[in-house]
Amino acid sequence: MTVRTPVLIVGGGPVGLALAGDLGWRGVPCTLIEKTDGAIEQPKMDLVGIRTMEFCRRWGILDWVRDAPYPLDYPQDYVYVTNLNGYELAREPFPGRGFEPCPPESPQKRERVPQDMFDPILRGFAERSPQVALLYNCELIGFTETSDGVQARVRDTTTGAEETIDADYLIGTDGGASTVREALGIGMSGNPALTYTTNVLFRCPNFSKLHNKGEAYRFIFIGPEGTWLTIVAVNGRDRFRMSIVGSPEKINHSEDDIRAALLRAMGKPFDYEILSVMRWVRRELVADRYGTTRVFIAGDAAHLMSPTGAFGMNTGIGDAVDLSWKLEAVHKGWGGADLLATYDAERRPIGLRNVAEASRNLRRMLATRERLPGPEIFEPGATYDLARKEYGEWFAAIMRHEWFANGIMMGYRYDDSPIVWPDGTPAPPDVSHPYTPTARPGARAPHVWLKDGRSTLDLFGRGFTLLRLSDTATSNIEQAAAERGVPLTVVSLDEPGVLTAYQRNLVLVRPDGHVAWRADGEPSDAHALIDTARGQSVQLRQQQAGRSP
């Protein structure tokens, strides 16, 4: 039997589910296959970044995230300790997720919702759309790509029955060991082994009563050898994840090693139940290409990074949002011939950027291995409190780079994209902190609260949005968009705050919420603008001819 679908998504992790959900939300039929039954043995991600939360706002699932069972009042502190019954060297306090305010740059804030809570939310989002079919226990075993489409061979993992699925496009969101990437022969460049790490999920209902450090999200343990272990509160209740950080040297921690690490971390014997053990390699890799003409990769299939910074899934969901509107455009016929190729041009540089920052964060966490704590740090007695304080403050200052990274989460820009029309202004610095919003073409269109209580972000989504911030004509852009079949909504605003943030009278915002173009008046050639934004490479030709639209 052969099934037909416009878009076949391979892999039902968070990135595949987000892509399926976003395509469904855009009215594009798609089929997602996942080789497992969807159960998560050991949740990996637990931080839903601020930009991902902005997408959840757009998708109308904020209340599902808020109602996730991670307690709203569980403190999110980061605590640096010698051991849990030893010394606290420093602490970065954060309130529970229910009490953290939104920063001025966003209508949202980050959320602590681990994968075994967030995947079901994304699954519910995808299932909400009748356009989306989710097939669990269904594995991709191979595919062929032709100029007309893709034919995938899939196997029911419960019965072994095989069938084919014909698709216009195939997207591999099938994780680090991606079958799709492998089949395309795409290599990955970077560092394949930063550390060999062992994660241990354990249950301990009275964990915070066993020590005097209080409830916190993450404990980072520093011994005479520097940082060697972390423990995070996975569900804010009874489940914790210990990570023996390891090193580039291959190691296979035995159960005895694991129990010894738990004992050393607590500083005294205690009762716990080990739920699962995951031995993994921390990598710094980005795929050399993000796909071909009809087959693309996204998420961990395209980039593998250290979890330090919580960028992995959030970068992958950024991939999904970028790819999704382009797939919609070609599916509905208004996307230009070069539009899908811009997925690689826009997202690969972001993959490289975020992977590099994640590794910098790892080096920050391991800075204690370069500047080892002196033996006095571990000596009892108030005499050494000052030494502990100084060492802790030094480390806390370094670690703040990881905890405050809205520039990474929201500040990624498509400056050099062929479908973005530069306005000649200089590129602002790309730093992880502080995040400075900009409406320069290629950037995330900034958030500003409107008089009616909405955010500017609420104006963007399915089609292009032309913000008209003064009494400026827009008819030639509207006409060009209509002639090309490009969905465009003109939003006229009399909001000085928006004009201040966007700095031009007219701003064209793409369906993914990034600025495509801005100017104070209509372009002389609106067709060139619209054709560029929809991926007909007109801008490149125009640039070569030295003209503006």
Ligand X SMILES: Cc1cc2nc3c(=O)[nH]c(=O)nc-3n(C[C@H](O)[C@H](O)[C@H](O)COP(=O)(O)OP(=O)(O)OC[C@H]3O[C@@H](n4cnc5c(N)ncnc54)[C@H](O)[C@@H]3O)c2cc1C
Q: Which residues are at the interface with ligand X (CB under 6 A)?
A: 10-16, 33-36, 44-47, 139-140, 173-175, 179, 199, 280, 299-300, 307, 310-314, 316
Q: How far is the CB of 283 from ligand X (least distance, A)?
A: 10
For residues 240 and 84, is the Cβ–Cβ distance under 8 A?
no
Per DSSP (E only), the strands in 383-521 are 464-468, 488-492, 506-509, 515-519
Residue 291 or 335: the one with the smaller Cβ distance to ligand X is: 291
Minimum gap (Å) between residue 179 Cβ and ligand X: 4
Closest distance between ligand X and the C-beta of residue 354, in Å?
A: 10
CB nearer to ligand X: give 45 or 467. Answer: 45
- What's the closest the beta carbon of residue 407 comes to ligand X, in angstroms? 16
- Mapped onto helix, strand or coil, the DSSP state of residue 509 is strand
Give the residue among 267, 221, 241 at the shortest CA–CA distance from 78: 221
**The tokens of 477 are what?**
């852009």
CB-nearer residue toward ligand X: 297 or 515: 297
* Min dist. Cβ of residue 106 to ligand X (A): 17
Q: Which is nearer to ligand X, 299 or 442 (CB)?
A: 299
CB of 491 to ligand X, least distance (A): 31
Q: Rounded to the nearest whole angstrom, what is the least distance from the CB of residue 241 to ligand X in the complex?
A: 7
Q: In terms of CB distance, is 199 or 227 closer to ligand X?
A: 199
Measured between alpha carbons, how far is 398 from 366 in angstroms, rounded to an integer? 10
Nearer to ligand X, 316 or 523 (CB): 316
Decide if 14 contacts 45 (C-beta within 8 A). yes
Of 116, 160, 170, 434, nearest in space to 323 by CA: 170
Which of 31, 456 has the CB closer to ligand X? 31
Distance of CA 69 to the CA centre of its chain: 21
Q: Are 16 and 32 in contact (CB under 8 A)?
A: yes
Query: Which residue, 179 or 455, has its beta carbon nearer to ligand X?
Result: 179
Q: How far is CA 62 from CA 65, 76, 113, 270, 449, in A?
A: 5, 20, 12, 38, 18
Q: Residue 396 carries which side chain, given as an amino acid letter?
A: A
Residue 448, SS3 per DSSP: coil
- Closest to ligand X by CB, 36 or 503: 36
Q: Whole-number minimum distance, CB 41 to ligand X, in Å?
A: 11
Minimum CB–partner distance for residue 36 and ligand X (Å): 5
Residues 6 or more apart whose Cβ sits within 8 Å of residue 494? none
Question: Residues with Cβ < 8 Å from 11, sequence gap 6 or more?
Answer: 32, 33, 34, 172, 173, 174, 175, 178, 299, 301
The SS3 call for residue 518 is strand
